[in-house]
Amino acid sequence: MDVTRFSGSVYGSIRDGVLVVTIDNPPVNALSTDVREGLCRALDHAVSLEGAAGVVITGAGRVFVGGADIREFATPPVAPILPDVTQRIEQSDKPVVAAINGAALGGGAEIALACHGRVASAAAIFGLPEVKLGIVPGAGGTQRLPRLVGTAHAVEMIGSGRSVKADEAKRFGLIDALADDAVAEAVTLAHGMANAPLRRTGELAVVPADEAETEAMASKVLAKARGQVAPAEAVRLVRAAALTSLEKGLADERTTFLRLRDSDEAAALRHVFFAERQAGKVAKLEGISPRPVVTVGIVGLGLMGSGIAVSALTAGYCVIGVEQTDDDAQKGRTCIVGLLGKAAQSGRLTPDARKACLQRLATTADLTALSGVDLAIEAVFDNLAIKTDLLQRLDGVVRPDAILATNTSYLNPDELAAATIHPERIVGLHFFSPANVMRLVEVIDCAATRLDVLATALAFAKRLGKLPVVCSAAEGFIGNRIFSAYRREAEFMVEDGAMPEEIDAALEAWGFPMGIFAVNDMAGLEIAWARRKRQAATRNPNERYVEIADQLCEAGRLGRKTGCGWYTYSSGEKTVDPQVTALIETARKAKGIVPRQFSADEIVAHLLRSMADEGSVLLSEGIAGSAGDIDLVMINGYGFPAHKGGPMFQARLKRDSHA
Ligand code: T1G
């Protein structure tokens, strides 16, 4: 088969009288400048090629096209820009058909939309996730998608960035056919189009959509996009497609894309995108193979342990859950079965997969049942004596080559490891509750942890579909350390004159889903109170200490669960409580503090700086490996808005703006 190379990443060959063009730009066939040039040359070639009835575009490997090359966003666009390519495809005199062999995302989806036909394999997914990068589609997506699927579906897909699988795409009218061999089917489709007027997407009328349905979809999408600009702009552009010409719509889209591409929101989300892909890549593990893990033991089937069990089961592991009594083991099993049932009801788990999970689950009160496990995770009460005793008992039960993981939030795993026979096999896995939902796992690289043990813990977390962030063993690891600093700064401001409700309102207006005092009330004030009491003996008397939170706890105000904490709660609603206001005013007077006003901007600036300062300490102490890791922990574990990039990103933004 004669292959013609159109550029470094684009080549083609004739198959049954059709020019099949392959984009081969590992790892995700991103639409680099070379790819765009190659596509234009291939289209020119097809025009001049007498024998070619049409063109098929496909991707090499398991991705069709993963979108524009995000790494190029920091530099001015280079011709041919993607809108030129999609325009060239749509205006071709010969049929151009997309053979979607895998993910068609962003610009990849726009290439497919500009084609005259689309065939997908079962592995294909189709999406315009640009809003997740703080931008809008920039090569016709907002104008062409509603011409195929209607405004309501287009608003939902582009406004939320949700991808659809091949069967849903077929149902929406996004693709013309599903086929095992998408290229062969696309060649046939191209032949079928060769002698008929071409169906150019841009020339189609927008599929009429029920206005109420569109409005409902827009409201749903925008309700989740609090504080973000891109989703609202995406929805505006899609809805405008039905009201303006393609040319005007494309021009508005392009202008909007370029404006948003240079925004702080887009820079923040690109930072998060690449940070997520660097997380869990530890230089010292290069060439270190993880140990095989088939069976996982989980000791403690409370809320956390059950969640971990569900994550492990749905990832394909065999799980042996252990509790102290048969009754507790049964309760744990009931919880796990219930969570699997919910996952099946929501469609996240197929009925067969749920059944398979249940077949791989065993629960018992007998710790020796763990004698054959490859990895044992303790998820018992966060108390040093209890965890130490359990790990020492596990030492005598599990195989010498088994790995022991502690799921502690606050304790120092180095201390736990030092109390066991094989400290080198101890690693920390700090899951966030609920463990079957939250992506973040802090993987604690203890002082004695062997490299292959750390590699195994990372591989395990990744197979669970988690976002693993590696850190060293130190009180509070990354997230709780920074959250403590954040909480301290907030309480300093309360003592100095800001009220909790003012601080929470400022944080929520800035983009946090919930202010810190509401978060503390939800989590329970007793957790931090217990830690403060534990630290009291060693606290530096010269360091500022705010007693207000202790006074709330001493008054039995432990948060939502007691009906009152920083706020008072009735029927789920929180209200400001004059008793708390009085308590705060009394505390200020007791220290001779004359309260002052804080603006919302000042409140946010103080809190961001407190997080970034603590993050810098974590970096200097080698507890966190990178600023990106710190941002990922605060975004995925503590509600920091992703479209703001994280505390370290914000600090860099502030430094750059003052530079
Ligand atoms: N550009 C540059 N690099 C990319 C990339 C992209 N679009 N997508 C992935 N990578 C890198 C990634 O950083 C990692 O690098 C490697 O590829 C593997 O990624 C004009 C303007 C396609 C589903 O948002 O969703 O088009 O760490 O680990 O799990 O309107 O990558 O190996 O050095 O994620 O197999 C829109 C983003 C862009 C899709 C594959 N497109 N990518 O998942 O691999 S904007 C997206 C993904 C756009 C147009 C607009 C996933 C994937 P490294 P990975 P994966």
Record the tokens describing residue 225, joined without a space: 């996009």
- Ligand 1: atom nearest CA of 73 is 21
* Helix (H) or strand (E) run with residue 313 in it: helix 303-314
Looking at residue 476, its pLDDT comes to: 87
Looking at residue 659, its pLDDT comes to: 75
Looking at residue 278, its pLDDT comes to: 94
Average pLDDT on 305-312 reads: 98
Q: Is the CB of 95 under 6 A from ligand 1?
A: no
* Helix (H) or strand (E) run with residue 39 in it: helix 33-48
What is d(CA 521, CA 566) in angstroms, rounded to the nearest whole number?
A: 7
* pLDDT level of residue 537 (50, 70, 90 thresholds): confident
Q: Higher confidence at residue 532 or residue 24?
A: 24
- Ligand 1: atom nearest CA of 66 is 22
Which residue CA neighbors atom 34 of ligand 1 most closely?
Answer: 277
Q: Is the CB of 129 under 6 A from ligand 1?
A: yes
Q: Could you write out the three-class secondary structure of 61-101?
A: CCEEECCECHHHHHCCCCCCCHHHHHHHHHCCCCCEEEEEC
Q: In this structure, are residues 126 and 208 in contact, taking their beta carbons and an 8 Å threshold?
A: no
Between the alpha carbon of residue 12 and those of residues 24, 47, 68, 169, 437, the distances in Å are 11, 14, 21, 27, 44
Q: Higher confidence at residue 561 or residue 208?
A: 561
ipTM summary value: 0.98
Average pLDDT on 446-469 reads: 97
What is d(CA 55, CA 17) in angstroms, rounded to the nearest whole number?
A: 9
Q: How many angstroms does the Cα of residue 369 sit away from the middle of ligand 1?
A: 43
Q: Higher confidence at residue 229 or residue 534?
A: 229
Q: Is the CB of 398 under 6 A from ligand 1?
A: no
Average pLDDT on 402-426 reads: 94
Mean pLDDT score across all residues of the chain: 95
Active site residue 130: yes
- pLDDT, one tens digit per residue, over 496-507 is 999 999 999 999
Looking at residue 227, its pLDDT comes to: 85
Average pLDDT on 63-79 reads: 91
Q: How many angstroms does the Cα of residue 86 sit away from the middle of ligand 1?
A: 20
Looking at residue 636, its pLDDT comes to: 97
Looking at residue 101, its pLDDT comes to: 97
Looking at residue 411, its pLDDT comes to: 87
Options 3.90.226.10, 3.30.70.2200, 3.40.640.10, 3.40.50.620; which CATH number does 4-267 get? Answer: 3.90.226.10
> Considering only the top CATH level, what class is 283-475?
alpha beta
> Considering only the top CATH level, what class is 480-622?
mainly alpha
Looking at residue 49, its pLDDT comes to: 80
Q: How many angstroms does the Cα of residue 28 sit away from the middle of ligand 1?
A: 6
Cβ-proximal residues to 232 (8 Å cutoff; 6+ apart), any chain: 222, 225
Q: Could you write out the three-class secondary structure of 115-134?
A: CCEEEECCCCEEECHHHHHC
Q: Is the CB of 253 under 6 A from ligand 1?
A: no
* pLDDT level of residue 399 (50, 70, 90 thresholds): very high
* pLDDT level of residue 78 (50, 70, 90 thresholds): confident
DSSP, collapsed to helix, strand or coil, labels residue 599 as: coil
* Residue to mutate (ligand 1; options 34, 62, 63, 70; most atoms within 8 A of CB): 70
* pLDDT level of residue 79 (50, 70, 90 thresholds): confident
Active site residue 502: no
Q: Could you write out the three-class secondary structure of 452-508?
A: HHHHHHHHHHHHCCCEEEEEECCCCCCHHHHHHHHHHHHHHHHHHCCCHHHHHHHHH
Between the alpha carbon of residue 30 and those of residues 39, 102, 121, the distances in Å are 13, 13, 19
* pLDDT level of residue 254 (50, 70, 90 thresholds): very high
Average pLDDT on 50-71 reads: 94
Q: Is 195 exposed, middle or buried (0-12, 13-18, 19+ CB in 10 A)?
A: exposed
- Ligand 1: atom nearest CA of 125 is 23
Among residues 50, 72, 90, 130, which one is catalytic? 130
What is d(CA 443, CA 591) in angstroms, rounded to the nearest whole number?
A: 42
- Ligand 1: atom nearest CA of 82 is 20
Q: Is the CB of 27 under 6 A from ligand 1?
A: yes
Among residues 37, 50, 90, 110, which one is catalytic? 110
Looking at residue 52, its pLDDT comes to: 82
Cβ-proximal residues to 652 (8 Å cutoff; 6+ apart), any chain: 627
Average pLDDT on 215-232 reads: 92
Average pLDDT on 270-289 reads: 94
Record the tokens describing residue 511, joined without a space: 């983009």
* Per-domain boundaries in the chain: 4-267, 283-475, 480-622
